[in-house]
Amino acid sequence: MEHKISVLISEEEVDAKIRQLGEQISKEYEGEAVHLVCILKGSVFITCELAKRITVPVTMDFMSISSYGDGTKSSGVVKLAKDLDETIEGKNVIVVEDIIDSGRTLSYLLPVLRERKPKSLKLLAFLDKPDRRVKEVPVDYTGFEIPDEFVVGYGLDYAQKYRNLPYVGIVEV
C-alpha cells in the first residue's frame, strides 16, 4: 500500500542542519574525541552524516531501543533490543536519536548510560516533537522542532518503509 507523503523538511535543509550540528560539536569538543551512540534503526542516516562533518576524532556504537512496534503512536513500553558493544566509561558520549516525542525511550535510556560513567553525556535529537512530550528529557542539540505529525524519511519509518527518503515528510495514513 502506498501512502501520500508531503515534504516537511527538504533534503537541502537536512544537509545544512547536519553541517551546522557537526561544526557546533567540533568546536565544543576541540582537542578531544567524541563517541556517538546511534539509536537504531532510525538514527543511522543522521549518525553517519553527522560523523562525516565532525572534525575531532569520532568513534561510534549502536543501541536498539524502542517504544513503538509497527504503530504510529508510542506503545509506552520501552524495550532494549541491542546494547552497546563497547564501554563508554570516560568518553564524551553523544546519543544520537532520530526523533523525540513522548520522551519515554530517552527518559529510560539516559540514566542507564549515566551509570556507565561517561566523561560527558549529551543528547542530539534530529527531530523534536515537544507537543507529544510525556516525560521531559534534556536535549543538547536539536535538528528541527516539528509539529505533532507522523513523519518518515531520513531514517524514520512507517512499518519499516520510507527510511530511505532523503527528506523528512508527513505521511497521510
> Running DSSP on this structure, what letter comes out for residue 146?
-
Yes or no: say if 46 and 155 are a contact pair by the CB < 8 Å rule: yes
Element (H, E) at 22: helix 11-28
> Running DSSP on this structure, what letter comes out for residue 155?
T
Distance CA(118)–CA(127), nearest Å, equals 24
Is 83 known to be catalytic? no
DSSP, collapsed to helix, strand or coil, labels residue 27 as helix
* Annotated catalytic residue within 98, 101, 128, 157: 101
Distance CA(50)–CA(47), nearest Å, equals 5
Radius of gyration of the chain (CA): 15
Would you please indicate which residues are annotated as catalytic (active-site) residues?
101
